[in-house]
Structure 1
Amino acid sequence: MTEQILSGRYRIEEAIGGGGMAVVYRAVDELLGRTVAVKMLRPQFAGDEEFVSRFRQEAQAAAKLSHPNIVNLYDVGMSGNEYFIVMEYVDGPTLKDLIKSKGALPVEEVVDISAQICEALAHAHEHRIIHRDIKPHNILLTKSGIVKVTDFGIARAVTGTTITDRQATSVLGSVHYFSPEQARGGQTDVKSDIYSLGVVMYEMLTGELPFSGDSPVSVALKHLREEFVEPRQIDRSIPQSIENIVLRALAKSPSARYPDMESMLADLNDALKTPNVPKFILPKEATEETIAIPVVRDGALMSTDRNKGKQKGKKKQKKKRSWWQRLLMVILVLVVIVLGGLAALYILMRVLAVPNVALPSVVGETESQAVATLESAGFKASQIHEETGTSKQHKGIVFDQSPQGPTKVKQTRTITLYVSTGAPRLKMPDLTGVTEDEAKLTLMDAGFSDSHIVVKTESSSNTPSGEVISTEPTAGSEVQSDATVTLYVSSQPATTVVPNVVGMTYQDALKALQAANLQVGQVTPVASTQPNQTVVQTSPAVGTTVKPNTVVNLDIADNTGQTTSPTNSTGTGNSTSPSGSTPTSPSEPPAGSTAHEVKVTVPVNPGSPPVQVEIDVNDAEGNDQTVVQQTITKTTSWTETIYLMPGTTGQVDVYLNGQLAKQFTVQG
């Protein structure tokens, strides 16, 4: 078939799909230069004139449809004895492929796909076209998630009659999605498409079909007579609003289904907004058993006609029967009626004789305890069905039951227990540095319960008050959603007092201030009678009540003429030179010299890298002396004293990170 060209225009490339009635190829429209899909009927259908005629009519009708969720029909033609349809090419999987690969789909995805199918079918119904073969095989998905409904027209041509041997190959793939009226060969309308879409939704939600069997006939009979397992009995996480749409769409009586696709679409659009709604209950008149009327075939019709002929003969013979024969027949009929009534009464009494018993509530009990409780209440182990699921209850605990207890039920009623496999596991977020309220909101958004969040306070000089220091469990660990999470939150006093550090060395004063949640600011050497390199006074003063992290400036006694700042392990007064030596202290001022003060300030922006500072002085002695050599992390000031003879010139050089940054010239 490859490399074949149809109508001198469509070049066949490769087969991409097919079924019992047709094969689909990817082809190139050489006239327009676009990729298309070509569906070619199998040879056994080409000789059926009635089929070909209906095929053409339906294909022409489908070509009138133009909707973004319907595969466009481009052309219909015939090449030799082969009939074909040219359609839009969709480079994506079928919905059936998606269900096979993923199983049950997420509820949000089911609603989105179903809504797009609804819009496509609503457009078709407006044009008086019924699809009649809605199934996942006929739903294509583009790579961007757009739904494309295909096979309009052909479905009607093939399923115009009921299940027959002649069409067994085509029916086999569709019977699982038939409506009851299609299964018995009745009249089909828009509600048949609604039923089929309900089957598709059921399969997307559960990964299973509502009815299955060994043959197409057995499946069709189940559509007519049997009830399906409701979706929420398979997956309790399905919202009731979504299940209600499926239950209404799959009503056996067309009158109980949605009146049109627009009504079904409206419920789909609202389902996720209001998921918790009462369960849909079929109207009483729609719950009566459907009577399956078989389709009469030609042979059956002939035999029926012959039977009618025989019956006419029998009627003539009845006229010859004597009165006692007629009386005997009446008596026999009465006997049959009486016996039938007695049998029905006996069966009814047997049904009514089943006693009602009290069904207790076993929610919260362990699996074994719940079974024992139900058996004590009169239920057999064979009546107790167990299903598992995640919940906030601990593993092995019954978190739900059906029917709910306590209540009265028939002693033969099946009881379903839903046993917890434990709470779902969640990843612990990193909450370090966020406020307590933000941490709680983050945990609840992640799925943790507010009742399982514990807050403990710890004193911390590094973390601002009210922020999280650490958590237990630690960030990144996998924990159950019902696990207890402990937040360790920094707690600093609202105020603190400047401690008495007067008389302490700089290092001791620094430790005392840090212990009081205070920071050391500017350190200024001053002349004092106190011991050298001890604190003379503080600013703010000792005993002042201040806020935590307040900056405290220190005055340090300098009784040797040294003008450098004392050692500061934090980098704001470290006078140790790179070689390990200390800056040179000036000797006694020369006789007749005059003291001149020079104030040097080096600014450092918050968060900037540390700055290496070196200050050299050239005074009356004419020698360069290094008086400051330290690394600072904040803005720092020094006051240097230069002794100059009258008429002489002195100089102060400031080096930052080894580069000359500033010079001060002083005249004596």
Structure 2
Amino acid sequence: MQSDRHARSGTEAAGGDPTTGRLLDGRYRIGPRIARGGMASVYEATDIRLDRTVAVKIMHPGMGDDEEFAARFVREARAAARLSHPHVVAVYDQGEEDGTVYLAMELIPGHTLRDVIRKEAPMTPSRALALMEPVLSALAAAHRAGLIHRDVKPENVLIADDGRVKVADFGLAKAVSADTQHTATGGVLIGTVSYLAPELVVDGRADARADVYAAGVVLYELLTGSKPHAGDSPIQVAYKHVHEDVPPPSAVAPGIPAYVDALVARATARDRSLRPADAAVLLHQVHRVGQALADGVQDDPELTADLAPMLLHPDTGELVAVDDEVYDGSHDGEVTSPIGILPGRTVERMPAAPARTPAPVPSRPGPPPARPPARRRRWRGPVTLLLLLALVLGVAVGAWWFGWARYTSTPAVLDLTRTAAEKKLDAAGLQMELGGPDHKRLRIDGKVQDMVGQFSETVPVGRVADSDPDPGARILDGGTVTVVLSLGPERYKVPSVKGLTEDQAQDAITGKHLDFGESIGRWSDSIPAGTVLGSDPRAGTVLRPGTAVNIFISKGPKPVEVRDWTGRDADKAQAWFEDRGLVVDRGTEEYDDNVAEGHVISQTPASGTLHRGDTVKLVVSKGPELVEVPGGIIASGVDAARAKLEALGFRVDVQNSDHYLGLGYVYEMDPHSGDMVPRGSTITLFQI
């Protein structure tokens, strides 16, 4: 969707709308409103999950409660998401929160085609066709997918600041099926009245040719700066679409070549059977007209006749461009056709009937006639009859020549090879050119080359899948038949996304006409978090367009919840940490009177979360520190022995021996001199 930074008012951006500032579905931070329609409003928003700016289309409050409107809104997401085309606004996401139904889509900073019309129209035909080409390319992609836009208008054509042209709001698009049609009496008429095809007004039924009609009206508006039909009310405008033709643009903007008028007339024919079958066909005709303009051709009668079929004007006897057959009519000087009364452009003039001069009226009786009156009437009658017969024959021959004889039927070339089709057309006196909406690099005769045509699930590669005109259609002798070759089934390889960011991977996938599925997180010890590990299906897998591709994204190393091993066996602690990918540093050992040898005195960190490759430091106990009990204690005085032992850190306990005499000398000690005991141990002295 479009964001027009210059048009947005300060009040709007300040958040007068209560939706502004809301965090929708826990993902989209809603910003200022940038557009409002009949069903929904569009806001600029930030996707906080992917950190990108998007456009979010939110259904108006209360409409989500109407199941019909809600279902149509959801169909919009599914229909638009099927389209992956550089000139179609991309749809990213669709969801619902507390009754609020929304779409998240591509944001296009810039302006609309309506702004271009205001500033530049009327514009040159070349400029107008250049603007229409990407629009028709987008519609052609939709028509190939079986979708109809139904609301083609300048407001739905977005032009980015960098010049990219994108068609927006496929919200009214519908899959072509009987159960989705609406009639004017029993259903809903969808679309903008200035661009409605007559059949939409009459019975609400539409196919791809309704979009062709709307595109033709937009082209007229680019060329002239005004809409073809105006009225005091929408009903009056709709009535004119049904009962009046779009006038030739040259009537408003003189100097426009006749073949450009013919292009507009063909696209906006009220009888939809006279229009191009879809946007791809109209795009091909636009290319032909664009080439003529580029070559500086001001008048090309053959191209004009090709684009605008023939019709006989009832009053002037002139041929006018309307249809492939010559019709007769008598409606007050205008031209009749199967679709009503149509004005037309003169192509060739038919011979008119010679005027008869009335006989003079005598003022008084004259002499009797030289011959009997009966004989005079017999002479004039046959002559008059011969003149009338000659006139009728001349008109018939002219009509036969201009309406039939110089035309031939297009031969059927479907399913033929290119060479066979060219030979068959050449034998019929026709030229062949290759066309088609798609292109593909193919290996032909051992050489890789770009080939234009269209994808087909049923027609083999290189054979004719379509032709314009259709087989059996009338075409001028020596005319050109556009042959569309089959490119085979439309398939695309899954791109390699390993090592990309999530956004880059999504762009790579959608750039191959595939759909992005979902991101799946996986732990990785070697790949940084946020980097794509791969895809499912794998890179190189050949898929149909629109197939979903998932990606795997690194979540970084898997976290390890640290366990406290203080006071427990250090060997077991080391094995536990190493099993979880952690590095153990137990280079520090200390004596500890309270922790057994080989057990953990302390651990860093003692708790929390680490990742594989991180280090845990263990301080391991060597047990209590041992010292030697000194000698020279036996037979020494008790007081002197106590002082010596306490000076070495021992505690001293004095007791009387079994042989106590009261002399005050050490008779015996425990432990004995030379024994290794923990520092600070108690030594018992037995005195005599």
Q: TM-score, normalised by structure 1?
A: 0.41
Q: TM-score, normalised by structure 2?
A: 0.40
